Amino acid sequence: RFNDITMAPPDPILGVSEAFKADDHEMKLNLGVGAYRTEDLQPYVLNVVKKVSCFIYSCSCLLHESVLCVYYICFEYVLKFDITFSYKICRQKILCWNGESISGTGSLRLAAALIERYFTGSKVLISSPTWGNHKNIFNDARVPWSEYRYYDPKTVGLDFDGMIADIKAAPEGSFVLLHGCAHNPTGIDPTPAQWERIADVIQEKSHIPFFDFAYQGFASGCLDKDALSMRLFAARGMELLIAQSYGKNMGLYAERIGALNVVCSSSEDAKRVKSQLKRIARATYSSPPVHGARIVANVVGNPDLFNEWKEEMELMAGRITSVRKKLYDSLIAKDNSGKDWSFILKHIGMFSFTGLTEAQIENMTSKWHVYMTKDGRISLAGLSSAKCEYLADAFIDSFHN
Ligand code: PMP
């Protein structure tokens, strides 16, 4: 009976945006949302996306084409996009399946279903902390998970020794979920040397690396550079899972465009894995939405548009870096307590993990109208340069009270 269904807990991230909307203070800030915003704190539609959308809408025959037919064409297009990391592997060894999925979340969920079915009992190791939805996804798929240490509150940096020890201690053949770049929520990524060491341990333990790649371009501003971690693993000939989202780096959140990439050890393995993934997809969402795939396909399939996208990506990442710097400068100028604020500059991508306690976060919201998630994460994408000084005042007040 429906009457027996209990109320689900509220979503921690969506709740922040709702509370923000209801606030009418002129200095209010939403640092909860993990989506890019312009200097006016508005969503950004990339110029390349505008151009390509006009083109797509002018091809009315395309719009009415059967989705299933286009679906397979999209695979090809998504493959092309992967020039930035796995396309080379794919072309040379034909070991990789790229399936268009329902953005990053859908790709993770599809991979989770594969793990549940074909690696029954295998654990997924996730970083502590991680993006709030990871636990939800693996719970939903009934895949057991445990955490590996990642964030060190003492240094507001990476607990590298803890991470390595926990990956080593996990049962052989576990899946290790790694954030490809711009770790959410901490903004802390391993260095290239640390990535090598992580790969060593994963290989020693016959674990399977599982990359969540939702922010390609936001760490360094360069799509290519941000693929370093995965390339390094792939270059070792390791089998890989990669859940890719194009939601943020092309501003296509609502189009739900992403891909699950699987790098297998042989083309025969890849064919069988592909057949099973298609089967799971068929029983769940059947075929993915096509509009976002067409946009991505047209951008990456045209060298001029691809370059234009790379430039826009640099601009988006650059704006975030510049507000980081301005926030840091304001904090240093205003705070004479000796607190070390350098973590703001050290962290990369959209996020920083501030270390604010729940009581301090409550002060940020009730007194300063600054909205953020309860774990102390802030999204710098939601900050304008005009509001850096205001945010610095809010931080100083909240940290010292
Ligand atoms: N992984 C991480 C780490 C994320 O932060 C997000 C989005 N917040 C996703 C995956 C999924 O993104 P989407 O489903 O919107 O592509």
Distance CA 326, CA 285 (A): 44
Q: How many angstroms does the Cα of residue 271 sit away from the middle of ligand 1?
A: 27
Taking the alpha carbons at both ends of the chain, their separation in whole angstroms is 50
Report, as an integer, the average pLDDT of 20-48.
94
For residue 269, pLDDT over 90 is answered with no
Do β-strands 175-179 and 208-213 pair in parallel, antiparallel, or remain unpaired?
A: parallel
pLDDT the model gives residue 149: 98
C-beta separation of 82 from 108 below 8 A = no
Q: How confident is the model at residue 161 (pLDDT cuts 50, 70, 90)?
A: very high
- Decide the pairing of beta strands 124-128 and 145-149: parallel
Does residue 42 register a pLDDT over 80?
Answer: yes
Residue 240 in 3-state DSSP?
Answer: strand
User: In this structure, are residues 100 and 285 in contact, taking their beta carbons and an 8 Å threshold?
Assistant: no
Site to substitute for ligand 1 among 13, 179, 184, most atoms within 8 A of C-beta: 184
CA of 2 to the centre of ligand 1 (A): 31
CATH-assigned architecture of domain 10-44+318-399: Alpha-Beta Complex (3.90)
Q: Is the pLDDT of residue 396 over 60?
A: yes
**Helix (H/G/I), strand (E/B), else coil: 209:** strand
CB 37 within 8 A of CB 381: yes
Check residue 60 and give its pLDDT. Answer: 57
The dihedral region occupied by 8, where left means phi > 0, alpha psi between -120 and 50, and beta the remainder, is beta
Q: Which amino acid does the sequence have at 317?
A: A
What phi-psi label fits residue 325: left (phi over 0), alpha (psi between -120 and 50 degrees) or beta? alpha
Please tell me the predicted confidence (pLDDT) of residue 265: 83
CB 229 near ligand 1, within 6 Å? no
Closest ligand 1 atom to the C-alpha of 102? 14
**Tokens, residue 33:** 């949302």
Is the CB of 104 inside a 6 Å radius of any atom of ligand 1?
A: yes
Does 180 sit in the ligand 1 pocket, CB within 6 Å?
A: no
pLDDT in tens, 354-366: 989 999 999 999 9
Cα–Cα distance, 62 to 66 (Å, whole number): 9
Which atom belonging to ligand 1 lies closest to the Cα atom of 256?
16
Per-residue DSSP letters for 282-337?
HHHTSS--SHHHHHHHHHHTSHHHHHHHHHHHHHHHHHHHHHHHHHHHHHHHH--S
CA of 61 to the centre of ligand 1 (A): 32
Mean pLDDT of the chain: 87
Element (H, E) at 102: strand 96-102
- Closest ligand 1 atom to 34 CA: 8
Interval 187-231: pLDDT, tens: 999 999 999 999 999 999 999 999 999 999 999 999 888 988 988
Pocket test for ligand 1, best of 16, 17, 105 (most atoms within 8 A of CB): 105
Least confident among 87-91, 242-246, 302-306, 308-312: 87-91
Catalytic residues: 131, 212, 248
Say how many CA atoms lie within 13 Å of 375 toward its Cβ. Answer: 19
Instruction: Give the mean pLDDT of 33-48.
Output: 93
- Range with lowest mean pLDDT among 18-27, 65-74, 175-184, 328-337: 65-74
Long-range CB contacts (< 8 A, 24+ apart) of 332-337? 333/392, 334/389, 334/392, 334/393, 334/396, 335/392, 335/396, 337/396, 337/400
Q: How far is the CA of 252 from the centre of ligand 1 (A)?
A: 12
Q: Return the bridge partners of 185, or none.
A: none
Hey, CA dihedral for 316, 317, 319, 324, is it positive or negative?
A: positive
Domain 65-301 CATH (choose: 3.40.50.800, 2.30.110.10, 3.30.1950.10, 3.40.640.10): 3.40.640.10
- Work out the pLDDT band at 393, boundaries 50, 70, 90: very high
Report which of 29, 382, 342 is spatially closest to residue 188, judged by C-alpha positions: 342
Integer Cα distance of 287 and 72 in angstroms: 9
* Rounded alpha-carbon distances, angstroms, from residue 46 to 186, 251, 285: 26, 7, 28
Enumerate the domain spans of the chain: 10-44+318-399, 65-301
Show Cβ contacts of residue 78 under 8 Å, excluding neighbours closer than 6 positions. 98, 99, 100, 259, 293, 296, 297
Q: What is the pLDDT of residues 270-326, one digit of tens each?
A: 889 988 998 999 899 888 887 888 888 788 778 899 899 999 999 999 999 999 999
Average pLDDT, integer, range 77-85: 39
